Amino acid sequence: MKNNDYPNYFIAGDAVSTQAQSKYINFVKYDLLLMIFSALISIYNYQTEESKTFIYVISGIMLLFAMLISIILKAKKYEDTWYRGRALAESCKTLTWRFIMCSEFFENNIPAEESDKRFIKRIKEINNEFADLNEVISAKKINAPIITEEMRKIRGLSLNERKEYYLENRIENQIQWYSSKADNNKSKYENWFSLVIICQFLALISIGYLIKYPMSDFNLVGLFSTVSASGFSWLQLKKYQENKEAYTTATSELNLIKAEANKNFSDEEFSKYVLDSENAMSREHTMWLAQKRM
């Protein structure tokens, strides 16, 4: 399913989360870069008073902007909006798959009008849980349908067609996404950690240089220390290692779920299979949200 085939609150929550994530990460990136550039222009000990004053003023301006960015991040709470918007979107998504697969509470023996009513009620409950996002959610996106034509089309498929669709477009799609993300986060974690170690080593070399040449006009210790500290901050922000472990675990669970599908389901069995599968997938983002609240 495409994003526009999901309910309006998924679309709205996904958009809010993506925008807040982009703003938060970019602001943190600018904050770290300003501190690095401030350290960079201070590596040379200028001899004239005018040169020193100029460098100090530029460095001070950079640090001031870095402080203002930190204040903006604190005030705007982009990180909270990012996490809660993602939780809203994922909650709507897993409920949608239960609905279109005729899983528990939305079985295909229920009249269409009743199943629609139940789905809309649950969507409203989810929205109420994230009512604090209403001030940033796009009204235009909320005007989209709660139950789309594509959702009704998939719900009307036969049992075997729904099973095939679910395995290909939900289970397999999530396996590919999680496994790709796990490998990507592992690679980035190793690269960034290597950068941190290299900068720490270069800081030690710079100290050794100053010990041997204490009258040198160049001091690179502050620069390499700042880059190293910024690298650690970026690692903490992106949580590459934690994400890699979470994505690997999710991939393993989904592969086990996929293996259980090699049987002929009855309507009741498939309903339970989808429910268990969606609970497993929602567990990952529920735990993710809980960790952010700690």
pLDDT at 263: 78
**pLDDT of residue 291 exceeding 80:** no
Q: 20-79 pLDDT, tens per residue? A: 999 999 999 999 999 999 999 989 988 888 999 999 999 999 999 999 999 999 999 999
Domain range for residue 162?
3-293
Quick check: 123 and 92 in contact, CB under 8 A?
yes
Q: 211-223 pLDDT, tens per residue? A: 999 999 999 999 9
* Average pLDDT of the chain, as a whole number: 92
Amino acid at 30: Y
**pLDDT of residue 293 exceeding 80:** no
How much is the average pLDDT of 87-96? 94
Say what the pTM is: 0.88
Cα–Cα distance for residue pair 30/65, rounded to 1 Å: 9
3-state class (DSSP) for residue 132: helix
**Strand partners for 44:** 218
Quick check: 99 and 119 in contact, CB under 8 A?
yes
Cα–Cα distance for residue pair 185/196, rounded to 1 Å: 16
Q: 11-20 pLDDT, tens per residue? A: 999 999 999 9
Q: 171-184 pLDDT, tens per residue? A: 999 999 999 999 99
Would you tell me how many other CB atoms lie within 10 Å of the CB of residue 282? 18
What total of structural domains would you count in the chain? 1
Here the tokens at position 224 are 């390499």
Q: 243-257 pLDDT, tens per residue? A: 898 889 888 989 999
Cα–Cα distance for residue pair 170/168, rounded to 1 Å: 6
**pLDDT of residue 106 exceeding 70:** yes
Here the tokens at position 225 are 């220390």
pLDDT at 284: 65
